[in-house]
Structure 1
Amino acid sequence: MFKYLKDEIKNLKPWEIFEFYDGPRFYSCKSQLGQIYLVYWVDETECADQWLYVKVSAERYYELKNRRIPIYKALVESEEKYSLLITVNNNKEFELRPIQAFDFDPDWLPDETEFVNIDNKSTLLPEKLTDVQTASSSSYRQVLDLALVTANNSYELAAGNLGNILTKVQNFLYASACDNRLNIRKVPDLIKEEQTMNVTTLFASSFGIRLQSKNTDFFENSVSENNLENFMSLLSSINDHEILHEKLSQMNLLTRSRFKALVKELVDNELSIKSEWANPYGKFNANNIEYIALKFALNNIKNGFDSNTQINTYKKVTLVGVDVHSDFFALKTNDKNIIKGKLSKDLESYNFNIPSVLDVTIEETCKIHETSGHEVWSYILMKVN
């Protein structure tokens, strides 16, 4: 066993230095198999230096670097039953012996509240292996990279929050793929099938997520390409209130409501967002939207115009129910949908006939439920022609 350990120690490669004084005093190493060691200088004599070698998992190392645990705890509360005390003489020859924490000399150890002092935080997320352009051209799929940046640049996000953000991105892409000339309340299943984005990898960039279109794109100017290009264009207009207002005004109500919900989710979690998109034919776009810009944009969306409401006129619909005392109406549209809602005050004295075929003007409101994330639609019958 000792021969194996000596061979492993001999072949360790230095990784990161945490403390330097006349040479490294506290640093990390990796073995050829990826095992991480903390190496901590504890004593010196005229002819030798002594070091503690403590095995740590990647998760433990991550906790140490991100100042979740102090140095003392990382050394004393080893994940293994023992550490190694290594004595290196002036000829660079070394001896090792296993040692348990209760045998540590208290003078070896740092203060119990001392943390590593480094600027860069650590993450278990892997680095990007390919950029979006390479990933897209090699797979013939649309590729969208999203990097969610927290206020403290943490590499962690609550699972529920991440799920909500990805759901709102996907729901927006579903809605924005629908024809803006149509009054869409529910996205058709065919559009959902065509516009689904799959999470294919996570990467280190605060918290990075790569999304790729479920389906391949063998031809340019596909619906998926145009949809993602419009999404990137909308994000890029976050910093310009007038352009953002203009673009949102051209979208159907469902799409506007879902974009507002996405921005609100990012703001509620105090996130900035970086995005990169590429298609298989060379198109590329990138944005970097700071939290403060998202917050300002959300305020403008709320106050600049009513992004949740629109006025629609319906021709030759059938009024199937009305109660002026409770301000209730129900009508059937040409596509057989039933719309139920309230009467405006201007129609309280109107003489309705049931059933009757009418041209009507309706105020429609779509809001996203805070808890479920589902759309809640409400209707007011404003005018009967």
Structure 2
Amino acid sequence: MSWLPQGTSLGRLRLEETFEYYDGPRLFSCRSTTGQLYVAAWAEEGTDHDLWLYLPISQERFDVTRSGGITVRDAFVNPEDAAFLVKIPFDGQSRDTIEQVLDGESIADDWLPDPSYRIELQTNTAPPALSPGELAARAQRELRPMLRVEIDPVDSRRTAAPTRAVGNLLVLTQNLLDNVGYSLRTNGQETSQRGRVPTDIQEAMSSEVISLTAASFVIDIASTGFVNLFGSPFEETSTEIVKVFALDDEGEEFKEQVGKFNSRAAKSFRKLVKHLASIGGPATLVSANETAQYIEARLPADKIQRMLAVLNYLAPDRVEPSIEGRMRLFKGDVDSHTFGADDPRTNQTYSGYVDEQAIPGFLRSPLGGDYEMVIAVTSVTDELTNDTQFNYRLMQITPSNP
């Protein structure tokens, strides 16, 4: 039995993608040889034929429907043009016919999918991004360094970029470039936490968005200035940023590299990572230069969370008094390096990450035991809500049987 009508004005059709299948495709997309795209839905079974709804649809409307932006029913009820009711006889010899041309209001309710039914497949709704190598080639052609930030939001089915997330990401990325560039210029010496970055630094670090494309969503920015005989501070800074992100987030080298920056730059790292964590999903950063070379840092979602915990410790808004004493270890995960401890003196509970230096003792401390612990406490303040978040990091634990 064929699910594609033959010899009708819909044209010669080929099946492209099946979304629901029961004894054959029941909801699918197909395309004519002239390029017209249709969504087809089984409507009704008669005594000697099936009735099908064929909806001509634009690529843009199809992408939104396929990704779950609108329900399948909405696509039929609010068509861009009209839908076709197609009759396909069972015997394979009788002629397939278009029975009716329908507007959305004249489609019978029981011919349509459930009102809540959505396809919800990952769908590219933006132009595809250049590969890192192609980005580096573009940097060479334009004679200016470039920086890419790629995000894969965990709750998005489309490669369209969330406006609020992109706006904040651009501001935080530019601030990171400014502050790391400033720190590199001063060799990591502490500077004022307030006030503007010097004008010459801002000019050297200035950038412009040159592309917003698909593959998750990808933001490519390029230095406003071009490479000259004196090199490019933008290239030095963006390369340094990506190198730091590429390091093991819990290794000593990561802590050492962050420690080489002044507090202002380190906090900019923390704020950008916090924003990446709030978006959810993995991220990738790429620095490409005018010699057609690039470096890449891939950040799985769990690494972003761990990196944020380390930066909350390395670059807090405030360092609070540490907590020391005998406490019960009620939670411990070796793989994620997380802990939970109860302090019987205050009835307080502390949860957070285990520092690298405490790992040997942590591995020898069974859950449920009481141990001498040292917990570092830092706090960060949300700039929008002014709420203070306290962060705990296990720095030392003395096992029962050292």
Query: What is the TM-score with the length of structure 2 in the denominator?
Result: 0.65
> Which of 134, 141, 144 is the equivalent residue of 1:141?
144
Name 1:206's counterpart in structure 2.
216
Greater alpha carbon shift after TM alignment, 171-180 vs 124-133: 124-133
Give how far 1:292 is off: 2.5
Kindly report the root-mean-square deviation, in angstroms, between the aligned alpha carbons of the 2 structures: 3.5
Post-superposition Cα deviations, 1:153-187, rounded to whole Å, max 9, x if no partner, equal 54355422321121111111012112133544432
Q: Is 2:383 the partner of 1:370?
A: yes
Q: In structure 2, what is the Cα distance between the partners aligned to 1:152 and 1:7?
A: 41
Q: Do the aligned partners of residues 51 and 203 (structure 1) sit closer, same or farther apart at CA in structure 2, a change above 3 Å counting?
A: same
Q: In structure 2, what is the Cα distance between the partners aligned to 1:46 and 1:134?
A: 63
Following superposition of structure 1 onto structure 2, how do residues 150-229 of structure 1 map, counting pairs within 5 Å? 150-155=153-158, 158-178=162-182, 179-181=185-187, 182-185=189-192, 186-217=196-227, 221-229=231-239
Greater alpha carbon shift after TM alignment, 247-256 vs 216-225: 216-225
Q: Is the 8 A contact 1:154 1:206 kept in 2?
A: no
Q: Do the aligned partners of residues 135 and 184 (structure 1) sit closer, same or farther apart at CA in structure 2, a change above 3 Å counting?
A: same
- The alignment partner of 1:239 has SS state of coil
Q: Do the aligned partners of residues 44 and 159 (structure 1) sit closer, same or farther apart at CA in structure 2, a change above 3 Å counting?
A: same
Name 2:17's counterpart in structure 1.
16
Name 2:292's counterpart in structure 1.
282
Give how far 1:284 is off: 1.5
Q: In structure 2, what is the Cα distance between the partners aligned to 1:8 and 1:372?
A: 60
Q: Do the aligned partners of residues 170 and 69 (structure 1) sit closer, same or farther apart at CA in structure 2, a change above 3 Å counting?
A: same
Q: In structure 2, what is the Cα distance between the partners aligned to 1:308 and 1:92?
A: 80
Give how far 1:57 is off: 4.6
What is the letter of the counterpart of residue 53 of structure 1?
Y
Greater alpha carbon shift after TM alignment, 257-266 vs 182-191: 182-191
Q: Do the aligned partners of residues 59 and 278 (structure 1) sit closer, same or farther apart at CA in structure 2, a change above 3 Å counting?
A: same
Name 1:326's counterpart in structure 2.
none
Q: In structure 1, what is the Cα distance between the partners aligned to 2:130 and 2:36?
A: 22
Name 2:127's counterpart in structure 1.
126
Give how far 1:227 is off: 1.0
Q: Is 2:252 the partner of 1:250?
A: no
- The alignment partner of 1:190 has SS state of helix
Name 1:272's counterpart in structure 2.
282
Percent identity over the alignment is: 22
Q: In structure 2, what is the Cα distance between the partners aligned to 1:106 and 1:278?
A: 55
Q: Do the aligned partners of residues 112 and 269 (structure 1) sit closer, same or farther apart at CA in structure 2, a change above 3 Å counting?
A: closer
Name 2:360's counterpart in structure 1.
none
Q: Which segments of 5 or more consecutive residues in structure 2 lack a partner in the other structure?
A: 1-6, 320-379, 387-402
Following superposition of structure 1 onto structure 2, how do residues 315-334 of structure 1 map, counting pairs within 5 Å? none
Greater alpha carbon shift after TM alignment, 281-290 vs 265-274: 265-274
Q: Is the 8 A contact 1:54 1:78 kept in 2?
A: no
Q: Do the aligned partners of residues 238 and 205 (structure 1) sit closer, same or farther apart at CA in structure 2, a change above 3 Å counting?
A: farther
Give how far 1:138 is off: 2.6
Name 1:292's counterpart in structure 2.
302
Post-superposition Cα deviations, 1:124-153, rounded to whole Å, max 9, x if no partner, equal 122125532232223222222211122335
Give how far 1:58 is off: 4.6
Q: In structure 2, what is the Cα distance between the partners aligned to 1:202 and 1:30?
A: 29
Q: Do the aligned partners of residues 113 and 258 (structure 1) sit closer, same or farther apart at CA in structure 2, a change above 3 Å counting?
A: closer
Give how far 1:208 is off: 1.7
Give how far 1:281 is off: 0.9
Q: Do the aligned partners of residues 113 and 254 (structure 1) sit closer, same or farther apart at CA in structure 2, a change above 3 Å counting?
A: closer
Q: In structure 2, what is the Cα distance between the partners aligned to 1:133 and 1:26?
A: 43
Post-superposition Cα deviations, 1:230-249, rounded to whole Å, max 9, x if no partner, equal 01011112523422221121
Name 1:355's counterpart in structure 2.
none
- The alignment partner of 1:27 has SS state of strand
Q: In structure 2, what is the Cα distance between the partners aligned to 1:103 and 1:306?
A: 62
Structure ID, larger Rg: 1
Q: In structure 2, what is the Cα distance between the partners aligned to 1:140 and 1:15?
A: 43
- The alignment partner of 1:115 has SS state of coil
Post-superposition Cα deviations, 1:48-91, rounded to whole Å, max 9, x if no partner, equal 6543122345554344323344333332x223463122345646
Q: Is the 8 A contact 2:249 2:310 kept in 1?
A: no
Q: In structure 2, what is the Cα distance between the partners aligned to 1:217 and 1:8?
A: 59
Following superposition of structure 1 onto structure 2, how do residues 60-71 of structure 1 map, counting pairs within 5 Å? 60-71=61-72
- The alignment partner of 1:10 has SS state of coil
Q: Do the aligned partners of residues 15 and 276 (structure 1) sit closer, same or farther apart at CA in structure 2, a change above 3 Å counting?
A: farther
Q: Do the aligned partners of residues 80 and 224 (structure 1) sit closer, same or farther apart at CA in structure 2, a change above 3 Å counting?
A: closer
- Count of matched residue positions in the alignment of Structure 1 and Structure 2: 308
Q: In structure 2, what is the Cα distance between the partners aligned to 1:252 and 1:114?
A: 53
Q: Which segments of 5 or more consecutive residues in structure 1 lack a partner in the other structure?
A: 1-5, 310-366, 374-385
Q: Is the 8 A contact 2:151 2:281 kept in 1?
A: yes
Name 1:315's counterpart in structure 2.
none
What is the letter of the counterpart of residue 166 of structure 2?
L
